[in-house]
Amino acid sequence: AQSVTQPDIHITVSEGASLELRCNYSYGATPYLFWYVQSPGQGLQLLLKYFSGDTLVQGIKGFEAEFKRSQSSFNLRKPSVHWSDATEYFCAVGSSGTYKYIFGTGTRLKVLA
Amino acid sequence: DAGVIQSPRHEVTEMGQEVTLRCKPISGHDYLFWYRQTMMRGLELLIYFNNNVPIDDSGMPEDRFSAKMPNASFSTLKIQPSEPRDSAVYFCASRRDSNQPQHFGDGTRLSIL
């Protein structure tokens, strides 16, 4: 069955520390992978996407993610977290010709001053 | 470039009333999606349209829910009659084609008393 797992419901890091949010997927076809961020009271905003090519993808706000096919993972990283990054992050998977995305359950990030 | 526009942003109504949520997708986007987000169930796809035609409504929870897309720039999601368990945030998203990411509106926060 197709699925996306975000193992960490909550993550707490100190401001300035590095961040890694985990995303694992189970998908029969070659996946398209996405990370979205959701600020309170707002919709989901695309951080970055992977369709093909370079497995290290750069996104907005200093985020990056790496597609590792052997591990079925697409983890989101940021070298130095800012207090404004505290919000919820969603991983999603789709594929060419598939119109549905499967979303993970989200990881809520807390940033300590 | 205007994003996906949803209205109203907030809706509070009594059980049994009809509720209509509205969405204007991004111009030129051929796909439109309705999602529901709750704490318990996360982000659920309710229905999606391609070129104004409903393609998959398997996520619509009950016959009380219906969605229409009379033209390329407007869609509605209707709940009649509404029940307290329908309380959630409802998102609309649009996409240009299958090889592009989805863009989300800011959602409608629905409370059924």
pLDDT in tens, A25-62: 998 777 899 999 999 888 899 999 998 888 999 999 99
B54 reaches A (C-beta below 8 A): no
| Average pLDDT estimate for B38-59 | 92
Q: What are the chain B neighbours of A45 within 8 Å (beta carbons)?
A: 104
Residue of B nearest to A101 (CA): B45
> Is it the case that residue B97 has pLDDT exceeding 90?
no
One-letter-per-residue 3-state SS of chain B: CCCCEEECCEEEECCCCCEEEEEECCCCCCEEEEEEEECCCEEEEEEEEECCEEEECCCCCCCCEEEEEEECCEEEEEECCCCHHHCEEEEEEEECCCCCCCEECCCEEEEEC
What share of chain A in percent tops pLDDT 90?
A: 76
> Is it the case that residue B41 has pLDDT exceeding 90?
no
Q: How far is A99 from chain B (nearest CA, A)?
A: 6
The pLDDT, as a whole number, for residue B1 is 62
> Is it the case that residue A69 has pLDDT exceeding 70?
yes
Q: What is the pLDDT of residues A72-107, one digit of tens each?
A: 999 999 999 999 999 999 999 987 766 788 899 999
Q: What are the chain A neighbours of B106 within 8 Å (beta carbons)?
A: 41-43
